[in-house]
Amino acid sequence: ATWNGNRYAVTTNSGTAALHMCVAACGCGAGDEVIVPAYSWSSSATCVLQHNAIPVFVDIDFDTMNIDVNKIEAAITPKTKAIIVVHLHGLMVEMAPVLTIARKHGLKVIEDACQAHGAEYMGHKAGTMGDCGAFSFNQNKNLCSGEGGMFVTDDAMLLKSAQSLWSFGETNTPSESRDYHVYAMGWMYRNNDLTAAFGRAQLSKLDGYLAHQIANAQHLTANLQDIPGLILPVEPDGFKHNWYNYVLRFDMASLGVDRQLALFRDQIVKALTAEGVPTMVWQKFILPAMTVFQAKNGYGGGCPWSCPMAEPVDYNLAQYPVAQEHCDTHTCLVMALRAPNGIEVMSLLAQGIRKVMTNLDQIR
């Protein structure tokens, strides 16, 4: 909490658990709708289902890969209770318009900062601008404790609600004796001492880790920016990227590819791998295309969508063209920018990427 600038923080056994605590703390429940970006990790949306509420997807902005803030307001209905913003790949969402919209409509703002440790928007760290937020500390994260997460907030009432969910529906804090009485629905989202201690030790090194990644990203960008057909990740003015993922997109139009985009992308990824560039397709499906949403099979019997308190929600995939284009044309370097890899490794990665991109005729 001190490092990030939050008043309260509760350690959890995963980032997914912390997200569920956010949804519960914000009072989302049966029939309520929560706005979510159409492209993210599945937990950004399934955490809404976990509390019997309904995700409503909004397309993304192609440049930032985050939720398109200009499309949020059109998705708001009388059932909307909260907005989940996902600071994807370590770049924060443009929070000022989101907060303005939320205040206008009386909505809570949940920050999914699971990939955004240390990222900033206009000098504010991820997890400090919404009503509450969630972090993840699993094996891939910039702050890694093997597994684990964190719920953060400045609101004492949200903290109390989240803590009830955190420990079996009990209301006792860790410093109080337990009466083993269940006051509300609860789960077991507590962390354990071993992973918490490991994470605390890693926290003392986090600023150094992030500085290392930023230097690597800057070097990689400088060595890739002149390659035709390659779209590099952006860092807009006023933002501080933590470079959790370094995402490449392929400009299929300039490459003369107008169909089966994902198939051609996969061929490029295969060639990059052969050159020693460890890239991967981070998500092969946009969220609303996943079976749980298309079949609406969350709890069986159509719940929560069939709840008598709910309104019909449409997951027509034509509503999310930007998310789909991004999904079909991207690959990313997930771990390559991490220590101990340095400038020498970044130069080798750039050489491999350049070699593939200048010889695409050999993989068509």
Radius of gyration of the chain (CA): 21
Q: Report the distance separating Cα 59 and Cα 326, nearest Å.
A: 11
Q: Which of 86, 132, 110 is nearest to 323 (CA)?
A: 86
Using the structure block, give the residue that is written with the tokens 């980032």: 15
Q: Which of 60, 112, 108 is nearest to 86 (CA)?
A: 112
- What letter does residue 167 receive in the DSSP assignment? B
> For the chain, what is the total number of helices (H) and then of strands (E)?
10, 13
Largest CA-CA distance found in the chain, in angstroms, rounded: 70
Q: Report the distance separating Cα 152 and Cα 104, nearest Å.
A: 24
- Choosing from 81, 108, 125, 141, which is the catalytic residue? 141
**141 catalytically annotated:** yes
Beta partners for residue 56, in sequence order: 35
* Residue 186, helix vs strand vs coil: coil
Pure H helices in 167-205 = 193-203
Q: Is the peptide bond before 288 cis (omega within 30 degrees of 0)?
A: no
* Two tokens, residue 302: 């159509």
Using the structure block, give the residue that is written with the tokens 């010889």: 359
Q: Report the distance separating Cα 163 and Cα 172, nearest Å.
A: 8
Using the structure block, give the residue that is written with the tokens 């809404």: 48
Q: Report the distance separating Cα 94 and Cα 108, nearest Å.
A: 16
Active site members? 141
